[in-house]
Amino acid sequence: MRGALARRLGDLDRAEEALQEALAEALRRWPSDGVPDQPTGWLVTTGWHKALDVLRREQVGRAKLAQLDPPRSAGDEDVLALVFGCCHPSLPEQARIALTLRAVCGLTTEEIAAAFLLPVPTMAQRLVRANRLIRDREVPFTTPPPEEYAARLGAVLKVIYLVYNEGYLANSAAVVQRRDLAAQALSLARQLETLMPTEPEVAGLVVLLELCEARTASRFDAEGNLILLSNQDRSRWDQRAIQAAVEKLDRVLLRRRPGPYQTHAAITALHATAASYADTDWAQIRALYLALHRQEGNPLALLSASVATWHAVNAETALWEVDQLASHLDGYRLYHATRAELLRALGRDEESRVALQRALTLATNPAERTLLIDRLSTLETTAFPAS
């Protein structure tokens, strides 16, 4: 709905305000009038009329009125067009991604800041500046012609990936996961693949998300507690979906145009096809994470490589690798959680406890917090056994 309005109004702020007005109108009218047969269409049309009312009252808006076509009901192409608009090459890359997460997916400033590992005020300022740039430069919310795909593809792929991550394990204190965001991200990735069928990185992202989706049934227990990969019931994984995704990845890799999303998909495929956690090809996973770091320069790839080092080499070497990342990842919860596990494996329980406490202060997801608290409780029980 936001996409349909933004596409016609050419202004994200106006689209957001119009949608909020339409939702408020629905809350006033639907309880007595009943829900319309096509609620989405009703909201888009109502939002459109609300926006026109505002434009008629503004001198600058009157000139714009004649240029606007009324929106049809919201569709998938509107969402993809909104993503491309937010990822316009005239915007800085970080602004493109943050703006898309806000405008397309409705993430809060706090959730976006957590995804970027940034303070909330910094992210709030970034969003304000991005909205201003969109408006001042009159960025169109349309799917670009094919010759412009390359200029925006990197940002679009990253946005879809971050949206999926937020759905997979939310950076929110209120919910554990947001399946709506995960489904939206996969849908966007598949739409993008239809638009760019020969682009291997798009296919790589689709495979990556499909492999992650194939394992969702085993990630939480009945109480909503997070289950680590090492403890997941692999019989609950969707083996048919995994096989289809792996076969697709094999075809994509034959194009020999490597990129980070294909590499990440290959890592996930190794996890998904291993008979057990112990049987995982950790040496190959380590090599792929190092390749991923060379491709995109993200220190999180090195953190993941250190976990593979633990299993392929030893905990002492892995801890040394993790400690080299302190200056980059000290504000990241999984850095401290990983460090805690390695310290524990080396029998350094007190240091492990301190690292777990630091991870706990940084974690916002309730399932992650429960897991960290359980880890802390186990350490304390071991250190101070009941008499």
- Report helix, strand or coil for 2: helix
CA–CA distance, 162 with 101 (Å, rounded to integer)? 8
Which region holds residue 256: left if phi is over 0, alpha if psi is between -120 and 50, else beta? left
Copy the structure tokens of residue 269. 């495929």
pLDDT recorded at residue 76: 52
pLDDT for 73 equals 44
Report d(CA 291, CA 194) in Å as an integer: 28
Q: Are 78 and 8 in contact (CB under 8 A)?
A: no
- Confirm whether 384 is domain-assigned: no
Whole-angstrom CA distances from 141 to 78, 93, 378 are 8, 17, 52
- Split into its structural domains, the chain has a count of 2
CB 379 within 8 A of CB 357: no
Determine, yes or no, domain membership for 13: yes
For the purposes of burial, counting CB atoms within 10 Å of the CB of 147, is it exposed (0-12), middle (13-18) or buried (19 or more)?
A: exposed
Q: Of 74, 89, 120, which residue constitutes the final position of a domain?
A: 74
Last residue of a domain, one of 46, 74, 102: 74
Cα distance between residue 191 and residue 231, in whole Å: 34
Residue given tokens 């801890």 in the structure block: 319
The closest of 19, 11, 20, 148 to 86, measured between CA atoms, is 11
Q: Which residue has the tokens 């939480």?
A: 220
pTM for the full model?
0.76
Matching residue, tokens 């608290």? 373
Q: Is 352 helix (H, G, I), strand (E, B) or coil?
A: helix
User: Could you tell me which residues come within 8 angstroms of residue 77 by beta carbon, excluding any fewer than 6 positions away?
Assistant: 143, 191
pLDDT of residue 157: 93
Residue 330 domain flag? yes
CB count, 10 Å around CB of 153? 17
In sequence order, what DSSP letters do the residues of 150-194 get, joined into one string?
HHHHHHHHHHHHHHHHHHHS-S-SS-S--HHHHHHHHHHHHHHHH
Asked if residue 26 belongs to a domain, the reply is: yes
Backbone angles phi, psi at 178, to 5 degrees: -125, 95
Residue 382's pLDDT is 46
- Identify the bridge partners of residue 220 per DSSP, sorted by sequence position: 226
Q: Is residue 213 part of a domain?
A: no
Q: Is residue 111 part of a domain?
A: no
Last residue of a domain, one of 44, 59, 74: 74
Q: Is residue 304 part of a domain?
A: yes
**Domain with 55 in it:** 1-74
What's the token pair of residue 253? 């890799």
Average pLDDT across each block of 10 residues of the chain; the chain has 387 residues. List them in order.
59 67 74 74 66 63 48 58 82 80 80 79 88 80 83 87 82 67 90 92 98 93 87 96 98 96 98 96 98 95 97 97 96 95 96 95 87 84 39
Query: Rg for the chain (alpha carbons), in Å?
Result: 23
Question: Would residue 385 count as lying in a domain?
Answer: no
